[in-house]
Amino acid sequence: MTGYDGEGTIPPGGLVDSFRDYRKRVYGSASLGRFFGQGLLLTLFSCLPTIAGTVLRGYLYRMILGGLGRKCLVEKNIRFFNSARLLIGDRVFLGESGLFDVGGSADKITIGSDSHIARSVTIRTQLGEVAIGEKVNIGANSFIYGYGDIEIGDNTLIANQVEIIGGDHTFDDVTRPMRFQGRSSSRIVIGEDVWIGTQAIIVGGVTIGKGAVIGAGAVVNRDIEEYAVAVGVPARVVRSRKSSEYQ
């Protein structure tokens, strides 16, 4: 399952090879035991409705995740790719229809205690680690994609439909399609106590300092210092939270 960087999502090999590649990609192992065991657990419980299902999954999913802390609430229809490399702290809420995908050469995804991941959030990494701190709120329909490490500090607020995207495509050779030219990795660091407004976009190579505010719809393609308020496309600093003067 090479996706958009290869010949296609479905590999050209035979059925046996394709099935083995699928097990490695989705379950992190070619083991048939893991394939059938995790598949059975998800079939029976992933869609179980009401708060009873949400609470029950918070216990049962400890059998398939790399770590799942105490008193977690896990809503229905959540998909996991390579779930053994997803580590979740205590009292974390995972909203309905989320996707958590540790693929490629990625390390892991970690979510700190008391964090809230709203519905239909996608967190993917293909290289490096996505590390989400404690007491972080990620709003509905947000998209986090790591091709390189992504670090989100404690107490950060991320509104709905925010995109945080690390890495970039190489496109120097005009004689070849860009999808075959590879990618470059880049790191994103979002400090503690940051507020990111709805539909903002954070691109690779950016550091957002502690206590900064990013306005709705902003595109952040350069570093933002601590306690700055930044708005616009591309984002520019208009004032500091430590001062009432606008720039």
Round to the nearest angstrom and report the end-to-end CA distance of the chain.
49
**116 labelled catalytic:** no
- Of 128, 109, 123, 25, the C-alpha closest to 68 is 109
How far is residue 31's CA from residue 225's CA, in Å, rounded to a whole number?
47
HEC-encoded secondary structure of 151-166: EECCCCEECCCCEEEC
DSSP 108-132: EEEE-TT-EE-TT-EEEEEEEEEEE
Give the SS3 label for residue 155.
Answer: coil
Structure tokens at 101: 């995908």
How far is residue 211's CA from residue 224's CA, in Å, rounded to a whole number?
10
Give the SS3 label for residue 44.
Answer: helix
Determine which one of 13, 59, 105, 169 is catalytic.
169
Give the SS3 label for residue 24.
Answer: helix
Residues with catalytic annotation?
169
